Amino acid sequence: MKGLLRFFVNKKTIVLFGIIAGIVVIVGGYYYRTQILTEPIEVLVARDEINGEDKIQIDESMFIRMKMNSSDLKELNKKSSSMDRTGSLVYEAYEASNLVGKYVKISATIPKGGLFYKDLVVSEEDMPDYIWHSVENNQTIMELDVSDVITDFNSMKPGQVIQIHASYRDSVGTIIKGCYIGGIKVYGVRDKNMYDVSEKGYDGKPALMLLVVPDHYYQYLTIGPEVGVKFYPVGVGNIEENNSSCDGSTIEEVIKSKLHTNAISEE
Residue spans of beta strands (DSSP E) within 215-261? 230-234
If asked whether residues 60 and 144 sit together in one domain, one would say no
Distance CA 47, CA 63 (A): 5
pLDDT of 248 reads: 87
pLDDT of 194 reads: 83
- State how far the alpha carbon of 223 is from the alpha carbons of 181, 219, 220, 229, 254, in Å: 15, 6, 5, 8, 12
- CB-CB neighbours of 67 under 10 Å: 10
If asked whether residues 91 and 134 sit together in one domain, one would say no
Torsion sign (Cα): 101, 125, 56, 50: negative
pLDDT of 239 reads: 43
pLDDT of 86 reads: 45
> The CATH number of the domain where 104 resides is what?
3.90.1210.10
Residue at which a domain ends, from 122, 155, 189: 122
pTM (global) more than 0.75: no
Task: Residue count of the chain, please give it.
Answer: 267
pLDDT of 10 reads: 56
What range defines the domain where residue 66 resides?
40-122
65 within some domain: yes
170 within some domain: yes
Run of H or E residues at 223: helix 215-223
Percentage of the residues of the chain whose pLDDT score is greater than 90? 29
If asked whether residues 86 and 132 sit together in one domain, one would say no
Q: What's the mean pLDDT when you consider all of the chain?
A: 79
Note whether 47 and 95 are within 8 A (CB): no
27 within some domain: no
Task: Give the chain's radius of gyration (CA, Å).
Answer: 31
Contacts of 21 (CB under 8 A, 6+ apart): none
Which tens digit of pLDDT belongs to each residue from 120-141? 898 888 887 777 777 788 889 8
